[in-house]
A = this chain, B = another copy of it.
Amino acid sequence: MDSDYGIVRELSDLQMLRSLYQPELPPCLQGTAVRVEFGDATTAADPCDDHTISRAFPHTYGQRLAHFLRATAKVPDAQIITEHPAIRVGVVFCGRQSPGGHNVIWGLHDALKVHNKNSALLGFLGGSEGLFARKTLEITNDVLATYKNQGGYDMLGRTKDQIRTTEQVKAAMAACTTLKLDGLVIVGGVTSNTDAAQLAETFAVEKCPTKVVGVPVTLNGDLKNQFVETNVGFDTICKVNSQLISNVCTDALSAEKYYYFIRLMGRKHSHVALECTLQSHPNMVILGEEVAASKLTLFDLTKKICDAVQARAEQDKFHGVILLPEGLIESIPEVYALLKEIHSLLKQGVSVDNISVQLSPWASALFNFLPLFIRKQLLLQPESDDSAQLSQIETEKLLAHLVETEINKRSKEGTYTGKKFNAICHFFGYQARGSLPSKFDCDYAYVLGHICYHVLAAGLNGYMATVTNLKNPVNKWRCGASPISAMMTVHRYGHGAGAVSIGKPAVHPATVDLKSKAYDLLCQNSRKFLMDDVYRNPGPLQFDGAGADSKAVTLCVEDQDYMGRIKKLQEHLDKVRTIVKPGCSQDVLKVALTAMASVTDILGVMSTPGANTQFQE
């Protein structure tokens, strides 16, 4: 079957047109002379994690930030890499397919060839399995022709998500050595990038000359941190899903007789659900993070939805659209506890048929309360990251069922007097994942591909290619790279100095920040969304004209540009040094001393281990 990968194929008119689209490069990456400026040494976001991560990644933790600048940029310390020997690079798709992935490869290929036409790019066929088995396809312009700006991962395919076990790491290293690779580019999400960091560290230890680079590509949008604003694929997935949600909203309003319960793919956290809500304005969304923070039980959730249905019925509205992230089920405290017990029993080898009798009395009671179809789904083997098989658990049907039961009960009691409650359930995920990528994702992925080359040309190992300031036009984008280990956190029990860490350092999926502007925007509008049916239809994904250049709401409302602000800070520090040179007046020096002493005091207190817990779950 591998022989089918990368074949030239017939394209539809629109696919053909898209294949001719040439993404723009930001000025810093144009031409062949790119400057690299090294910033300060990086650190983890939570000072508590510093020690643990540096012990786990002695060779790759604490490396300096890299900024890529125009050749003409006036930055004294930046260096232009002038030699571009021919290099050999391998690239592999890891984890779930995300629209835009092909463009990373295209961008990398173009950058390699423009700097040295003898450089070679090898794509591993069939994902990490292909890496282990050294199955490659040389990427050429001919191979790329029908995959430029196209969705899916079908140019190379993908299989297992991980490069983690000793055998897997050994096989990967053997492949890189045998194929004489100077670089290995790993395209994927949080898990794959954690694996990339581990691989980089192992290569450094074992003196394997291959440098490893990660690229943030995941439709879940959960690879978010100081350095990474969004992920390739998230924009497309949210646009395709928002279109479908909007269509369902229009449908609900036309017939006025159904409540649609829509579950959205996106793994543990609710980034996709939040973004789709802000794009399409359905009546309600239940974010996993809200449920976890408020410890809402299944009964609380049922009541919350029933109250909404009742409030709408009082205004003669008997339709509505409710979004649920697929990770919601794990955020409900008692269901989470139940899942933990089930997974632990499964790990002990208890057969599916015997699990229900071995559960604790409490978990058993909940289990037996749930409808049969959900019980079966909860008994599925957990995923490789220990989470439940979220895409297979029909939370939307469970909630629709519970709400229907409760509304019928209220009807009998006379507290609900509206029309019969009718629910229709949907799961939106697979039908968006293979979409043609949006212009944003085409551009972002292509630029990241270019950056991968420059990371390798600068000889860096264990870095992730990054672009910041993404909400602005491409010509304002900042290109750089950050050590992956600086994005890691360590899970632990408790807070403060006495906390006990659990598990290895990893790039953990970011939760939806309940203090963010995006969430605030949702809160401000949630009443209006619930009662007033202010449905908004962004329409199908467009590539020209209105809507073609729109970007994710959650991306645009935040003031991110962390890399830009890091640079701004450096400028302030340099300015102080320039103004307060030896020979300046006593007054100037005195003011400078007092002011800076106060700054260092404040920061000293804020950076005490345990004070910053933003990225801790």
Residues of A participating in the B interface, judged by any CB pair closer than 8 Å: 1, 4, 9-18, 96-97, 126, 150-154, 157-159, 240, 243-244, 246-256, 258, 260, 315-318, 372-373, 424, 426-428, 430-436, 533-534, 536-547, 550
Contacts and interface: CB of A to CB of B under 8 A. Distances in A.
Contact of A247 (B126, B253, B372, B434): B434
Nearest to A153: B254
Contacts of A537: 11-12, 14-15, 150-151, 434, 436
Contact of A253 (B10, B154, B244, B540): B154
A12 B547 contact: yes
- In order of increasing CB-CB distance, the 10 nearest A-B pairs are A250-B434, A152-B250, A14-B539, A247-B434, A17-B546, A251-B434, A153-B254, A1-B316, A14-B547, A540-B540
A533 to B, nearest CB: 7
A442 to B, nearest CB: 13
Interface of A is mostly: loop
A430 B15 contact: no
Contact of A533 (B4, B244, B258, B541): B4
Given A9-B534, A430-B426, A152 B542 contact: no
Contacts of A373: 373
A550 B150 CA distance: 20
A255 B1 contact: no
Contacts of A256: 1, 126, 157, 159
**Of residues A16, A249, A256, A436, which shows the largest number of chain B Cβ atoms within 10 Å of its Cβ?**
A256
A536 B250 contact: no
A209 B297 CA distance: 62
A133 to B, nearest CB: 14
B545 A430 contact: no
Contact of A248 (B13, B244, B434, B533): B434
A544 B545 contact: yes
A578 to B, nearest CB: 46
A434 B254 CA distance: 8
Given A248-B430, A251-B434, A434-B537, 12 more contacts: A12-B547, A97-B254, A126-B256, A150-B537, A154-B250, A243-B435, A251-B433, A258-B430, A424-B430, A426-B427, A436-B539, A540-B541
